[in-house]
């Protein structure tokens, strides 16, 4: 027991604040174990990855500006779609929400820091390593195998594939460690009186997400490890000649892949569940039903994976089961959307930037949910499979869903974190530009998909030209609007006006009610009492 006290005492000395010998400059960030520093690192990392993946998206859209091959070769085009997907999912969106978790969970439950501060440091610093592996894999000839990394293409791809596999391993390790930290912090380190059912919704969503991550990231690690051993060590998991089956890869991948969708969406629900009540000046409607709905979405996510595989030649009974199970998810999701709308009902609404992004999320995520419901129907999915309709669907839930929610969270908490206000006018510009260009980019892709344009192909039938031009214009507009976001954040940090203690009237979680603005480096060393 004394060793425990000792190690904790040391950890405490290590991050004793700038006043007593804290490393400065780069070493401060490399060696930090402070949850706020690590949250900031996660958020900046994810923004850099967001821009990297964005440049790849623009390469794709530039090539698709006109039919025929203009700018890049088909192999490189396929690598762009692959790396864009992997970078956005594992490098941008997931780390962004882990960044929020690091900053906000200890503040919201009244804990002094995360449960394992040193492991926290490690889970972050694995990410740049994975990012370097990803980029060097591209330099080694890349692997245009799609972000889903289906066998048998992956078992035959060049050496770039091996680096891609190792990058996925490291990203997985980082996520698992981060999740273990989050679960332990939430379960063991809540302030006295903070019962599970009093936790802010954002904390709840992360508790559920972290469990999902611990359950499915190892399965993905297993799938890519099988690919690796098939490539180099003579196993035949996915090799028909040796008695394996490439369809098996899809089953294993989507057992991870479908919960992964909710790993991205559920923390986004959490942020929106904090923002909407704050700007409606009302508590969240149906808190308990929100908790149960989120948990049921998480549980259902494990039993619907094969709706990504309707065209693999599944028996009809299987198709029917996966179709009905998938449709069932619309029920708890509907409960959540209903609760957000009911929270706003008769509230004193105001429309600052965080609220605008949350409303954008609400509207467009629901639209993406509807196209998901359309795709869940087997007979409809078969002709739409692997067309731009699917691309439009998942960008509505990933970009207008997860990304808008992250933007909302940044604008919401930036004053608390930095002690300075962002420029509200520019923030609104950022929102409206993002909203408009997002729809210009992706709404037309529904039509392209319905007309039969396949995804992941650099060339297309000339009949699709107009819609592709519109989509490309939207994409460049959306990309440039995000530079405005960077400018807004930098301007806020450098020369923002001093933020008041509680800039949002309706915000009622611990970080707003118990802590000064900006939040000090160390908080809640003596836990608050929650009534």
Q: Provide the annotated active-site residues.
A: 84, 113, 147, 174-175, 258, 260, 262, 273, 307-308, 333, 336, 455
Q: Are 167 and 130 in contact (CB under 8 A)?
A: yes
DSSP bridge partners of 498: 420
Instruction: Give 527's DSSP letter.
Output: P
Nearer to another protein, 132 or 299 (CB): 299
User: CB 215 → another protein: shortest distance, Å?
Assistant: 5
Nearer to another protein, 213 or 398 (CB): 213
Binding site for another protein (CB under 8 A): 1, 4-5, 7-9, 112, 115-116, 176, 179-180, 183-184, 187-189, 214-223, 226, 233-237, 239-243, 245, 248, 251-252, 255, 315, 525-527
Q: Are 371 and 389 in contact (CB under 8 A)?
A: yes
User: CB 450 → another protein: shortest distance, Å?
Assistant: 25
User: CB 122 → another protein: shortest distance, Å?
Assistant: 13
Task: Using only the alpha carbons of the chain, give its radius of gyration.
Answer: 23
Distance CA 411, CA 422 (A): 8
User: CB 235 → another protein: shortest distance, Å?
Assistant: 6
User: CB 248 → another protein: shortest distance, Å?
Assistant: 6
Three-state SS at 484? helix
Nearer to another protein, 187 or 196 (CB): 187
User: CB 3 → another protein: shortest distance, Å?
Assistant: 10
Sign for the pseudo-dihedral over CA of 274, 303, 380, 467 = positive
Identify the helix (H) or strand (E) that includes residue 420: strand 420-421
Q: CA dihedral in degrees (217, 223, 227, 233; nearest 10)?
A: 100
Helix H, strand E, coil C: the string for 296-359 is HHHHHHHHCHHHHCHHHCCCHHHHHHHHHHHHHHHHHHHHHHHHHHHHHCCCCCCCCHHHHHHH
Nearer to another protein, 24 or 188 (CB): 188
Q: Are 106 and 520 in contact (CB under 8 A)?
A: no
Nearer to another protein, 11 or 473 (CB): 11
User: Assign residue 506 a region: left if phi > 0, alpha if psi is -120 to 50, beta otherwise?
Assistant: alpha
Residue 178's φ and ψ, nearest 5 degrees, are -60, -40
Nearer to another protein, 232 or 498 (CB): 232
């Amino acid at each position: 027991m004394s060793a425990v006290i000792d190690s904790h005492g040391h950890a405490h000395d290590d991050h004793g604040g700038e006043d007593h010998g804290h490393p400065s400059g780069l070493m401060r960030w490399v060696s930090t174990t402070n949850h706020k520093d690590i949250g900031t690192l996660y958020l900046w990392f994810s923004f850099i990855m967001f821009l990297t993946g964005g440049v790849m998206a623009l390469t794709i859209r530039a090539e698709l500006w006109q039919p025929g091959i203009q700018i890049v070769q088909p192999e490189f085009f396929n690598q762009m779609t692959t790396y864009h997907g992997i970078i956005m999912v594992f490098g941008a969106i997931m780390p962004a929400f882990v960044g929020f978790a690091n900053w906000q969970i200890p503040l919201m439950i009244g804990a002094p820091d995360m449960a394992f501060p040193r492991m926290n440091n490690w889970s972050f610093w694995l990410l740049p390593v994975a990012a370097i592996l990803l980029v060097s894999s591209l330099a080694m000839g890349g692997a245009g195998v799609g972000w889903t990394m289906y066998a048998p293409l992956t078992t035959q791809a060049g050496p770039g594939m091996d680096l891609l596999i190792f990058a996925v391993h490291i990203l997985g390790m980082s996520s698992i460690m981060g999740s273990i930290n989050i679960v332990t912090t939430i379960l063991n380190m809540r302030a006295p009186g903070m019962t599970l059912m009093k936790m802010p919704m954002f904390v709840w969503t992360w508790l559920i997400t972290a469990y999902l991550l611990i359950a499915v990231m190892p399965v993905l690690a297993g799938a890519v490890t099988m690919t690796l051993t098939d490539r180099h060590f003579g196993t035949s998991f996915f090799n028909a000649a040796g008695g394996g089956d490439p369809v098996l890869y899809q089953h294993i991948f989507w057992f991870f892949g479908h919960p992964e969708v909710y790993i991205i969406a559920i923390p986004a629900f959490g942020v929106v569940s904090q923002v909407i009540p704050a700007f409606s000046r009302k508590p969240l409607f149906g808190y308990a039903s929100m908790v149960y709905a989120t948990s049921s979405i998480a549980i259902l996510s494990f039993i619907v994976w094969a709706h990504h595989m309707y065209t693999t030649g599944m028996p009809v009974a299987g198709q029917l089961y996966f179709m009905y199970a998938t449709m069932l998810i619309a029920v708890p999701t509907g409960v959540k959307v209903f609760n957000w709308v009911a929270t706003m009902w008769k509230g004193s609404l105001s429309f600052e930037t965080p609220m605008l992004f949350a409303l954008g999320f609400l509207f467009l995520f629901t639209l993406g949910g509807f196209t998901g419901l359309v795709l869940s129907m087997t007979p409809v999915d078969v002709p739409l499979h692997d067309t731009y309709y699917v691309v439009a669907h998942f960008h509505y839930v990933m970009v207008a869903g997860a990304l808008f929610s992250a933007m909302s969270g940044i604008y919401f908490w930036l004053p608390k974190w930095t002690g300075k206000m962002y420029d509200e006018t520019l923030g609104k510009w950022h929102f409206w530009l993002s909203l408009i260009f997002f729809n210009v980019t992706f709404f037309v892709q529904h039509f392209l998909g319905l007309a039969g344009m396949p995804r992941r192909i650099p060339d297309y039938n000339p009949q699709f030209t107009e819609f592709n031009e519109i989509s490309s214009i939207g994409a460049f507009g959306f990309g440039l609007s995000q530079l405005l976001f960077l400018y807004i954040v930098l301007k806020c940090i450098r020369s923002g006006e001093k933020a008041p203690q509680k800039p949002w009237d309706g915000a009622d979680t611990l970080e707003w009610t118990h802590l000064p603005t900006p939040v000090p480096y160390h908080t809640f060393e003596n836990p608050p009492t929650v009534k």
